[in-house]
């Protein structure tokens, strides 16, 4: 069950139908592939949105995205119908509220270390009486005549990152906090904080076991599990195991890999060979 599944009066459904696309997709139970945006550009965000991803994350923690980029990038994703999450730099109420006011459907909160951290994040994302979010939905409510605390509280998706020793030790308590909709495993910080080599693709048995323990806890508490994946094989394997939210690298990494592949593919081709190929194409 998703934390925000609250009862609404019939008249409040207009907003919910327009702004609850991400929650609707989560309710479907199917696996969802996301994009991870770190390049601070609205055109890049639009390209990502038109690629067909189920959702996209705008990464303000490790990406180059700052507050002045957030509005245009959210507009670009909204243009393509792609639900957007914002990974905030830290678990600070002001950062969380700012991202939601700008129009994000939800947030990803890094370095959650305790149930108290989880409660702090959830409270900042929902209006009273469910939380302490300040009223000021400057873009979130733009053009939405029936925007209200109740509809906003139902639509928002709160995702917590599990990537520290403290989070693993108190995982059941964290996932029991009312208002937690999903978790996202940060595999590199998860391995680093447990004394392992930081890597996006788990190969060490201890690293694999840590990720598996998070997945099992999510199933126990009916919280949507998510994982940052380093390659297609890893994403395929963990999806089969039950992770419903996955992404494969970031937009900058995909761009770099694609460019490098082009360069490397032609690096060994001599001029004569290239000309012969060109002549064959012309014929």
Rounded mean pLDDT of the chain?
92
**Structure-token pair, residue 9:** 């009066």
pLDDT per position as a tens digit, 72-99: 999 999 999 999 999 999 999 999 999 9
pLDDT per position as a tens digit, 3-38: 655 444 444 444 445 578 999 999 999 999 999 999
Sequence-separated (6 or more) residues with CB below 8 Å from residue 58: 37, 45, 65, 70, 73, 74, 77, 84, 85, 86, 87, 104
Looking at the predicted structure, is the pLDDT value of residue 281 above 50? yes
pLDDT at 49 (0 to 100):
97
In whole angstroms, give the CA distance from residue 110 to residue 119.
14
Catalytic status, residue 62: yes
pLDDT at 4 (0 to 100):
54
CATH label, 10-249, candidates 3.30.360.10, 3.20.20.60, 3.40.50.11260, 3.40.309.10: 3.20.20.60
Give DSSP secondary structure letters for 8-69: --GGGHHHHHHH-HHHHHHHT---EEEEEE-S--HHHHHHHHHTT-SEEEEESSSSS--HHH
Helix H or strand E encompassing 160:
strand 157-162
Helix H or strand E encompassing 202:
none
pLDDT per position as a tens digit, 111-170: 999 999 999 999 999 999 999 999 999 999 988 888 999 999 999 999 999 999 999 999
pLDDT at 12 (0 to 100):
43
Q: Who wins on pLDDT, 283 or 195?
A: 195
Measured in degrees and rounded to the nearest 5, phi and psi for residue 92 equal -120, 130
Which pLDDT band holds residue 276 (cuts at 50, 70, 90)?
A: low
Q: Domain locations in the chain?
A: 10-249, 254-283
Q: How many residues in the chain?
A: 283
The three state secondary structure string of 213-268 is HHHHHHHHHCCEEEEEECCHHHHHHHHHHCCCEEEECCHHHHHHHHHHHHHHHHHC
């Amino acid at each position: 069950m998703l934390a925000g599944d609250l009862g609404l009066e019939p008249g409040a459904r207009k907003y919910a139908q327009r702004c609850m696309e991400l929650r609707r997709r989560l309710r479907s139970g199917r696996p969802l592939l996301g994009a991870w945006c770190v390049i601070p550009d609205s055109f890049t965000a639009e390209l990502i949105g038109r690629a067909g991803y189920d959702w996209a994350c705008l990464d303000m923690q490790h990406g180059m995205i700052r507050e002045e980029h957030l509005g245009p990038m959210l507009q670009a994703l909204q243009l393509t119908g792609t639900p957007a999450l914002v990974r905030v730099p830290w678990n600070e109420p002001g950062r969380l509220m700012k991202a939601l006011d700008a129009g994000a459907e939800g947030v990803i909160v890094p370095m959650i270390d305790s149930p108290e951290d989880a409660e702090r994040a959830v409270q900042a994302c929902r209006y009273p009486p469910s939380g302490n979010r300040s009223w000021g939905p400057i873009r979130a409510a733009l053009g939405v005549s029936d925007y209200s605390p109740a509809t906003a509280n139902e639509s928002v998706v709160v995702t917590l990152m599990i990537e520290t020793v403290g989070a693993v030790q108190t995982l059941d308590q964290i996932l029991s906090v009312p208002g937690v909709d999903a978790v996202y495993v940060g595999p590199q910080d998860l391995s680093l904080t447990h004394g392992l080599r930081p890597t996006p693709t788990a190969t060490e048995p201890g690293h694999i076991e840590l990720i598996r323990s998070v997945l099992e806890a999510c199933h126990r508490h009916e919280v949507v599990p998510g994982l940052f994946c380093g390659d297609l094989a890893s994403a395929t394997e963990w999806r089969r195991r039950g992770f419903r939210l996955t992404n494969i690298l970031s937009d900058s990494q995909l761009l770099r890999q694609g460019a490098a592949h082009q360069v490397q593919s032609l690096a060994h081709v001599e001029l004569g060979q290239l000309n012969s190929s060109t002549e064959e194409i012309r014929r």
